[in-house]
Structure 1
């Protein structure tokens, strides 16, 4: 699919279209153009009206099939933009949901994704109802409005049913965790920004054989394995974090995040190959999410095989001011994993 990426920035804000491009490429989309604008958000279109016209021309000239905004769009903005540019307009939350749907393997993951998708869709249906009401004659109930109302009620019923199913699965997981604790197992969760190398580390420290690739959100459901060097410590791989996602999306994936909440220790991975500003942004995002769980955390600076000694020293200095326990490692090469294991045993 041919797509155009759009980003509105306030003056002084750092551009982040590279991350959006990585997300859409995970879906095998082809980026044919990029649009950026520095200005306060426009209530109607997010970007300015002149930029919308420019975007419509780009869609036509590049034969784009979709427009993807880095900024969160209201249902009203997405609806109005789609009408003006002539193709579907979505934001990055929709892209994340599509990646989740593509990656989902287990029945539980599929349930969670369906729940998240319907939560995302509900406000859009409300917007459709408003749009239809604005063109219907007063006192009459149009067929279009009736159909959208039926769809709205059906989505609400589905959401209630999915909540019940997820609640039941939550109880099963809780019983499993209680059993592990009773047997004397320690629970350690791997967390961090998406694509920071959590699955690679899980494979290096256990016999997991988890899927690993250079794409976002390879892991959607928690995967727990015993450490090779200490069978009483269980290591769990969790879904990667991403910046600025709405609370309801994390709620939908509570099964994965619960593994963090219930852990004795969290190993927070940071990608050493990122630039310093990007590394800081991702670490702050991860720390902000973890702050709500009140769990003990140690930080592993991963992928040190991809940087020079000088870069490593500089990045270690930066991170030391942001985290108390820091261990530099390469999960792919097995570098310094003994030091990480020692830190896990000491802190778990």
Structure 2
């Protein structure tokens, strides 16, 4: 006999995703065009990359709340390096990625050495980095031709840098290819490598992992460093797409990234952080927003709809109604 609750638990979210796509496609044929598909994929590429980093932090039972601030910092660092310092694409990318890693290591160190709870440590980092992003540019956006604090600009945006956000490879946007590549790397890392397995073991039972000889602290710091790295990469893609550095532009990506990572828990009933589920979660949110926009649904109602779907996904993943593993505990 088919266990209906078990089927809903494993395939309910994917079924809802397919039904949503079919509904939008039938209601608005323009939704299914190749151009719109690429628009959706491009719109979720930054969210997915950032969410994959958050997923890595979740693998060690953490929660990188500073991811959105790191996106903002990366945007400001990468754009300021080119406009204010007159350097090219490579230094801009290098400095931005390095800034993300350093913030991740700092957050991890607060958790491991100062014994601050994950959420509080990440929140502290978030507020500190938001302030640092403003200091770097004197509280102003970075744009072409405008130097630091009114001074003449020393450089311009490198074409190679802008290509990251707007370039294509055989008509496929590079940002989409990058999203897929990062998704595959994170999936292989968490599922197939020794380091990834140890991280998941720490997330499942930290004390058991410690007693087995795992250096729990080092792996937790590494997880936050990787989360910071991917958040910074997302910021680079965002800055390259818009061609400017807007103050606190990464704030909105925190909620979307967390939503994507948590929705991923419900994909195939994984009930744990996983790269495939996170990408599906990002696509879920992207398709929903794109469809609602086509139907001229007011922007101020979209957060409510996204939040409602997140709650549904969490109920399916963690509630005893559908999750038999949770019910058995």
TM range (shorter): under 0.3
Q: Which has the higher helix share?
A: 2
TM-score, normalised with respect to structure 1: 0.23
Greater RCO (Cα-Cα under 8 Å, separation 6 or more): 2
Name the structure with the higher strand share.
1
TM-score (norm. length: structure 2)? 0.24
In our comparison, the structure showing a higher alpha carbon Rg is 1
